[in-house]
């Protein structure tokens, strides 16, 4: 594993356990989309992609609130 990849995983766990889990799930979807790899966590579909886009939006909003960033 490249050091910058390892750093991303470590930092995501530092943010929150949910951040690391979400990142892992998104990485699984990315591998399926980019390389056609078999799913380890969730099979890729249009509905699943939409669901995860919503999860990412919610997570970013939470991070923004915690950082004191107001959505314009």
Q: What is the pLDDT of residues 32-70, one digit of tens each?
A: 999 998 888 889 999 999 999 999 998 888 888 888 886
In a domain, 12, yes or no: yes
In a domain, 36, yes or no: yes
Sole residue written with tokens 């056609």: 36
Range of the domain at 30: 3-67
Domain count, the chain: 1
Angle value at C-alpha 43, between 16 and 11, nearest 5 degrees: 20
In a domain, 26, yes or no: yes
**pTM here?**
0.76
In a domain, 13, yes or no: yes
Residue 12 corresponds to which tokens in the numbers above? Answer: 């995501």
Residue 22 corresponds to which tokens in the numbers above? Answer: 């979400």
- Condensed to tens digits (0 to 9), the pLDDT of residues 3-23 reads 777 888 788 888 888 888 999
In a domain, 72, yes or no: no
């Amino acid at each position: 594993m490249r050091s910058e990849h390892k750093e991303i995983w470590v930092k995501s766990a530092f943010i929150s356990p949910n951040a690391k889990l979400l990142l892992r799930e998104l990485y699984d979807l990315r591998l399926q989309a980019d390389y056609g790899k078999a799913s380890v966590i969730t099979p890729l579909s249009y509905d699943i992609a939409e669901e995860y886009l919503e999860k990412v939006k919610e997570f970013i909003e939470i991070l923004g609130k915690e950082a004191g960033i107001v959505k314009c």
